[in-house]
Chains A and B, each alone.
Chain A
Amino acid sequence: PEAADLRALSRLLYDSYVKHFPLTKAKARAILSGKTGDSSPFIIHDMKSLMDGEQLINCKQIPGRDQHPSPAVLADNYGVVAGHPAPGYGGLGGLSQGPIGLSHQGRTEGLELRFFYSCQSRSAEAVREVTEFAKSIPGFVDLDLNDQVTLLKYGVIEVLTLRMAPLMNKDGTLMSYGQIFMTREFLKSLRKPFCQMLEPKFEFSVKFNTLELDDSDLALFLAVVILSGDRPGLLNVRPIERLQETVLHSLELHLKVNHPDSMQLFAKLLQKMTDLRQIVTDHVHLIQLLDKTEVDMCLHPLLQEILKDLY
């Protein structure tokens, strides 16, 4: 009976994962391996192709899905889909404004900055998706509300980093619901510190992808990451630990069934949580550096909330 409960939990989390993260690993890998027929992604590999691909970057709609999605139904990659800048966050231009009227240098620099703002908008939307996924974890919404906030504050960038892995290979990453493939070399060619932002995620993702997890494994792992009882400032740790223990049992059982030949996969996966924390710490420091050094820097209010006093 206990195993049946654990299987039911993994099924529930997988269903929620598919519901809240429409670009699954299965879909992303199909796109990356060219198995989607004639709909191959637009490749951005230099500033010109970035300008040419602006319209796609701006697209908020998932190709092939409902033509009139509700505002709440948006896709799931931690990439570049421009949202609507929130009050106090706009003013520097969304991608839709275009580079008209700038010198060539200004054009490319403006483009870089707009690209960064698009990433922020998309990240904010992705935070909302992760929040909905977290709320679907049995018992999560019964936790102290302040602890729910803390778990999200500390866990969400780790989850977003994990969500990027299926979209990446050693050469680049999918963005905009899989409509764009941006090359790693192009991202490395951006000016500092922008060029430093995604490279650690590529390094992590290439290694992480060798574990060959599927979406059902990832759903459980994301829940484990969210339910970390050692986040700073938690008021009531014990119920969080109890929830995490249950999901951990479910994950362990699921990996044994789903990957019977993969030795120590459960242990290897848990070790990734240490790498994730370092990646997030470095990421936060980069954003804080940007905030100090970039004259026109403006952080999205939701990301400001998350990043404030975080590490």
Chain B
Amino acid sequence: KEKHKILHQLLQNSTSPVDL
């Protein structure tokens, strides 16, 4: 999970703007 932290975030947060 740590290896793909941002992908996990993108998949789980539908609206929050992930820090890109």
Partners in one complex: yes
Give me the interface of A with B, judged by CB distance under 8 Å. 70-72, 83-84, 86-87, 121, 124-125, 127-128, 131-132, 135, 141, 145-146, 148-149, 152-153, 300-302, 305-306, 308
* Least CB distance, A83 to chain B, in whole angstroms: 5
Q: Are A124 and B20 in contact (CB under 8 A)?
A: yes
> How far apart are the CA atoms of A148 and B17 in the complex, in Å?
19
Of the candidates A87, A149, A300, A301, which one forms a contact with B8 in the assembled complex, judged by CB atoms under 8 Å apart? A149
| Distance of A87 Cα from B17 Cα, bound (Å) | 15
User: B20, A131: Cβ atoms under 8 Å?
Assistant: no
CB neighbours of B17 from chain A (8 A):
70-72
A141 to B14, CA, bound (A): 11
18 contacting pairs across A/B (C-beta < 8 A): A84-B20, A86-B19, A124-B20, A127-B10, A131-B10, A132-B14, A135-B11, A141-B11, A145-B12, A149-B8, A149-B11, A152-B7, A152-B11, A302-B20, A305-B3, A305-B4, A305-B5, A308-B3
Provide the bound-state CA to CA distance between A83 and B18, in Å. 12
A145 touches B19 (CB 8 A): no
Contacts of B7 in A (CB 8 A): 131, 149, 152-153, 302, 305-306
Residues of chain B at interface, number, CB under 8 A = 16
B19 close to A128 (CB less than 8 A): no
Q: List the A side residues contacting B15 at CB < 8 Å.
A: 72
Count of A-B contacts judged by CB separation below 8 Å? 49
Kindly list chain A residues whose C-beta atoms are within 8 Å of the C-beta of B14: 132, 135
The 7 A-B pairs of least Cβ separation, nearest first, read A71-B17, A131-B10, A302-B6, A124-B20, A149-B4, A149-B7, A305-B4
Q: Are B4 and A131 in contact (CB under 8 A)?
A: no
Question: Known contacts A86-B19, A121-B20; is A131 also within 8 Å of B5 by CB?
Answer: no
Report whether over half of chain B's contact residues are helix, strand or loop; otherwise say mixed.
helix
Minimum CB–CB distance for B13 against chain A, Å: 10
Contacts of A135 in B (CB 8 A): 11, 14
Cα–Cα distance between A256 and B15 once the two chains are bound (Å): 36
A265, B8: Cα distance in complex, Å: 35
A305 in contact with B6 given A131-B11, A145-B11, A152-B11 (CB within 8 Å): yes
Which residues of chain A come closer than 8 Å to B4, judged between CB atoms? 149, 153, 305
Provide the residues of chain B in CB contact with A131, threshold 8 Å: 7, 10-11
Q: Closest CB of chain A to B16's CB: distance in Å?
A: 8
In the complex the two chains form, is A83's CB within 8 Å of B19's CB? no
CB-CB nearest in chain A for B12: A145
With a cutoff of 8 Å between Cβ atoms, the chain A residues found around residue B1 in the complex are 146
Q: Once the chains bind, are A83 and B11 in contact (CB under 8 Å)? A: no
Indicate whether A128 sits within 8 Å of B18 (C-beta atoms), given known contacts A149-B4, A153-B4, A305-B4.
yes
Inter-chain CA distance A127–B6, complex, in Å, is: 11
Contact of B20 with A128 in the complex, beta carbons under 8 Å = yes
**Among B10, B11, B15, B20: residue with most chain A CB under 10 A:** B20
Contacting pair B19 A125 (CB below 8 A): no
